[in-house]
Amino acid sequence: MDPTGQKYFTIIDYVIFALLLVASMAIGLYYAFTGGRQSTTQEFMYADRSMKCLPLSLSLMATFQSAVAIIGTPAEVYANGTQYWFIGCCYILGLLIPAHIFIPMFYRLHLTSVYQYLELRFCKAVRICGTVTFIFQMVIYMGVGIYTPALALNAVTGFHLWGAVLATGLVCTLYTALGGLKAVVWTDVFQTVVMFTGQLAVIIVGVHQAGGLSDAWVKVRDGGRISGIDLNPDPTVRHTFWTLGVGGVFLMLSLYGVNQAQVQRYLSSRTEKEAVMSCYMVFPCLQVALMLSCLMGLVMYACYGNNSPLEQQYITSKDQMVLYFVMDMLQNFPGLPGLFVACLFSASLSTISSAFNSLATVTMVDLIKPHYSMTEARATLLSKMLALSYGIICVAMAYVVHLMNSSVLQAALSIFGMVGGPLLGLFCLGIFFPCANSIGAVTGLAAGLVMAFWVGIGGFLSRMPSSVQVLPFNSTNTVLAASENITVPAVIDAARPAGLNGLYSLSYMWYSALNSSTVVLIGLIISFMTGPTKGDDVASGTVYPVMRTAQSLLHKLVKLSACCTSPEHTIDGHKKINGNVKEDAGTEEETETFLPSNAVSPLEHETSV
Ligand SMILES: CC(C)(CO)[C@@H](O)C(=O)NCCC(=O)O
Ligand code: NA
């Protein structure tokens, strides 16, 4: 080992990394020269609305799974145990709600961008506010996404930082601009395979290095890394079942329900049923991704124990740990470090390509097209140029992120909560509250953003002085704290933060919930003050019939229990099977009066429930 702890890439590692870029580029070129050759905006943005469920679901997962998650999750689990794993609980509601409420509505409205919904429901101004907020969110996130793997690679192997940023930025921009959404989705599929393979390989070798499965297990158990469920209701504790499992639902809704990058994928699927299915299939994919990254953290602990490379000052931040571990443990396996680096960059490429494509789409569809009429050919060319420009902005943003310094996982999830949260609130205001009006919507969004930045930046600053020590440790976690040799200041247990400080110390996992609720609340208050929208004035298909759905669900339940308790009743009424069929048909009619009916497939009955 180099005394400074510096690790080096071998030639085969470079080759594997280069292969990833070449293969992604090749996929882009393939879709640039096949099919409709990306000559229409329909193909460039929506893959001719012909995508199938499986590639879509992998792509949906890959969009918000970047190097941030691959690096950040193991570092979190290594330091604080498996509590973070409970975020997996929020995936259930976080995907069921989009699948049954958002997707059917957006799909049937046949939107060109998710922000068009805001114009249909409210007015053009709300649409533009939504679009601009989205652009803001994705541009920052893109910067984090491209910078993270490059920084880790640079810190551990000395690989040129801006060389890595520019190489990945360039390749990604090219295949996105040339191949459109088809290229983005199919590179996502390829990159997901690389991502899972790389992680799995490292875990297997790591367990082997730790002395086998049972040894590894004993080490992580004795090190206190297996966390039980923490039901502490305190919303200021960073990670508990409630912050992760409930706060996380709002995070998931903002990402998988109303984010253009994802809605674009739902809209590009062949049928509504397939869109809903692809959302369902994200669930197992996300669980696998979460499991792999948590296991990686445990394996890392099994190998290093409390003797972390951070402690030995081989590295300077938690976020460099995973890559250091890989280079350290895998140095006798030529090619494996390269495979893992490919895994890291795959994760990020699949994220920034989705960002480029969705940003180009909204800029074109929401900001440019409504004001300038142009031919299809020019519109397509312009969309490609936009994708290219966002590539350049992305590299510039990487430089901005370079100037900041924070734990990447928390930073990324905080951005989702701070900017994605208010956007989620805006959509919920429109979808669930027919009385909300445009003034309420704009004011609510502004209030939500103000709240977000107030609490977000306030929290960031109040944690600033000694950022390592002030992480609010859960009192049950003192074992972990002690084992990490971190001196937990006694004050933290003694004095619960009060007043504004209480608000500032809110767990970042609640940001999305707090900010979206603020939008809804302020939006409703202002709507009532300025004259609520009347039921008949709301465009059809833009409001979700909450009461009706609840009623029909209740009706069904009552029927069902009646059937169970008094069998004669059923026989008296209709024959058992007919009875059920009739009931279903009734529900469907009710739904259709609210939603414009395109092809109604069997799954769509359930979407109303
Ligand atoms: C956003 C979730 C929770 C679900 O997709 C997860 O993938 C994650 O933790 N992402 C972190 C951000 C990132 O990887 O860029
Ligand atoms: Na990704």
Do residues 576 and 523 both lie within one domain?
no
User: Do the domain assignments include residue 488?
Assistant: yes
- Length reported for the chain: 609
Q: Is 11 exposed, middle or buried (0-12, 13-18, 19+ CB in 10 A)?
A: exposed
User: Do the domain assignments include residue 490?
Assistant: yes
The tens digit of pLDDT for each residue in 78-90 reads 999 999 999 999 9
pLDDT at 568 over 60: no
Do residues 255 and 127 both lie within one domain?
yes
* Averaged pLDDT for residues 154-168: 89
User: Do the domain assignments include residue 224?
Assistant: yes
Least confident of 6-10, 310-314, 504-508, 593-597: 593-597
- Residues of the chain above pLDDT 70, percent: 86
Mutation pick for ligand 1 pocket among 58, 60, 63, 64 (CB with most ligand atoms within 8 Å):
64
pLDDT at 595 over 50: no
pLDDT at 183 over 60: yes
Cβ 192 under 6 angstroms from ligand 1: no
Range of 560's domain?
Answer: 545-607
Q: Which residues pair with 269 in a beta bridge?
A: 51
- Looking up residue 405, the CATH number of its domain turns out to be 1.20.1730.10
Do residues 577 and 460 both lie within one domain?
no
Do residues 529 and 549 both lie within one domain?
no
Q: What share of the chain is helix, strand, coil (3-state, %, to 5)?
A: 75, 0, 25
Instruction: Look up the pTM and report it.
Output: 0.85
Do residues 287 and 157 both lie within one domain?
yes
Cβ 63 under 6 angstroms from ligand 1: no
Do residues 523 and 558 both lie within one domain?
no
User: Do the domain assignments include residue 21?
Assistant: no
For 308-327, give one letter per residue: b (16+ CB within 10 A) or e.
Answer: bbbeeebbeebbbbbbbbbb
Do residues 512 and 576 both lie within one domain?
no
Which atom of ligand 1 lies at the shortest distance from residue 248's CA? 3
Task: Write down the pLDDT at residue 549.
Answer: 86
DSSP 371: T
The tens digit of pLDDT for each residue in 478-498 reads 333 333 333 334 334 444 566
Do residues 500 and 579 both lie within one domain?
no
585 or 459, higher pLDDT: 459
Task: Provide the pLDDT confidence category of residue 535 given band limits of 50, 70 and 90.
Answer: confident
Of 518, 538, 512, whose CA–CA distance to 433 is shortest?
Answer: 538
Task: Write down the pLDDT at residue 490.
Answer: 38
Task: Write down the pLDDT at residue 465.
Answer: 57
Which atom of ligand 1 lies at the shortest distance from residue 90's CA? 3
pLDDT at 116 over 50: yes
Which atom of ligand 1 lies at the shortest distance from residue 412's CA? 12
Mean pLDDT of the chain: 85
Task: Write down the pLDDT at residue 563.
Answer: 79
CA distance linking residue 232 with residue 550, whole number of Å:
31
User: Do the domain assignments include residue 4?
Assistant: no
Mutation pick for ligand 1 pocket among 95, 262, 413, 512 (CB with most ligand atoms within 8 Å):
413
At which of 489, 504, 535 does a domain end? 535
Task: Write down the pLDDT at residue 401.
Answer: 83
Cβ 412 under 6 angstroms from ligand 1: yes
* Averaged pLDDT for residues 519-542: 92
Contact 601, 272 (CB under 8 A): yes
Give how far Cα 225 sits from Cα of 109, 249, 412, 439, Å. 48, 25, 24, 50
* Averaged pLDDT for residues 581-593: 39
Task: Write down the pLDDT at residue 408.
Answer: 80
Task: Write down the pLDDT at residue 457.
Answer: 87
* Averaged pLDDT for residues 111-129: 95
Of 277, 242, 327, 232, whose CA–CA distance to 107 is shortest?
Answer: 277
Q: What is the CA(29)–ligand 1 centre distance, in A?
A: 28
- Residues of the chain above pLDDT 90, percent: 62
Task: Write down the pLDDT at residue 4.
Answer: 57
Q: What is the CA(62)–ligand 2 centre distance, in A?
A: 4
Do residues 509 and 591 both lie within one domain?
no
User: Do the domain assignments include residue 266?
Assistant: yes
The interface predicted TM-score (ipTM) is: 0.97
Cβ 65 under 6 angstroms from ligand 1: yes
Task: Write down the pLDDT at residue 272.
Answer: 95
The tens digit of pLDDT for each residue in 500-511 reads 788 888 998 999
User: Do the domain assignments include residue 36?
Assistant: no
Do residues 342 and 453 both lie within one domain?
yes
Task: Write down the pLDDT at residue 446.
Answer: 97
Contacts of 549 (CB under 8 A, 6+ apart): 591, 608, 609
470 or 528, higher pLDDT: 528
At which of 535, 562, 587 does a domain end? 535
Do residues 132 and 243 both lie within one domain?
yes
Angle subtended at Cα 382 by Cα 380 and Cα 383, rounded to the nearest 5 degrees: 65
Q: Which residue shows structure tokens 């099919």?
A: 35
* Averaged pLDDT for residues 361-377: 92
Contacts of 107 (CB under 8 A, 6+ apart): 266, 267, 272, 275
pLDDT at 215 over 60: yes
Q: What is the CA(73)–ligand 1 centre distance, in A?
A: 9
CA distance linking residue 564 with residue 134, whole number of Å:
50
DSSP string of 179-226, one letter each residue: HHHHHHHHHHHHHHHHHHHHHHHHHHHHHHHTTSHHHHHHHHHHTT-S
Task: Write down the pLDDT at residue 464.
Answer: 67
| Ligand that lies nearest to the alpha carbon of residue 294, given by its number in the listed order | 1
Task: Write down the pLDDT at residue 479.
Answer: 35
Task: Write down the pLDDT at residue 441.
Answer: 96
pLDDT at 578 over 80: no
At which of 511, 535, 559 does a domain end? 535
Task: Write down the pLDDT at residue 191.
Answer: 96
Task: Write down the pLDDT at residue 463.
Answer: 75
Mutation pick for ligand 1 pocket among 59, 60, 61, 65 (CB with most ligand atoms within 8 Å):
65
CA distance linking residue 313 with residue 311, whole number of Å:
5
pLDDT at 588 over 90: no
The tens digit of pLDDT for each residue in 385-420 reads 999 999 999 999 888 888 766 678 888 888 899 999
Contact 60, 456 (CB under 8 A): no
538 or 472, higher pLDDT: 538
Q: Which residue shows structure tokens 């007043």?
A: 499
Task: Write down the pLDDT at residue 5.
Answer: 59
Cβ 509 under 6 angstroms from ligand 1: no
User: Do the domain assignments include residue 11?
Assistant: no
In this structure, what are the phi and psi dihedrals at residue 51, rounded to the nearest 5 degrees?
A: -80, 155
The tens digit of pLDDT for each residue in 127-139 reads 999 999 999 999 9
Task: Provide the pLDDT confidence category of residue 606 given band limits of 50, 70 and 90.
Answer: very low
The tens digit of pLDDT for each residue in 229-270 reads 999 999 999 999 999 999 999 999 999 999 999 999 999 999
Cβ 68 under 6 angstroms from ligand 1: yes
In the chain, the number of structural domains is: 2
CA distance linking residue 596 with residue 107, whole number of Å:
10
Do residues 453 and 395 both lie within one domain?
yes
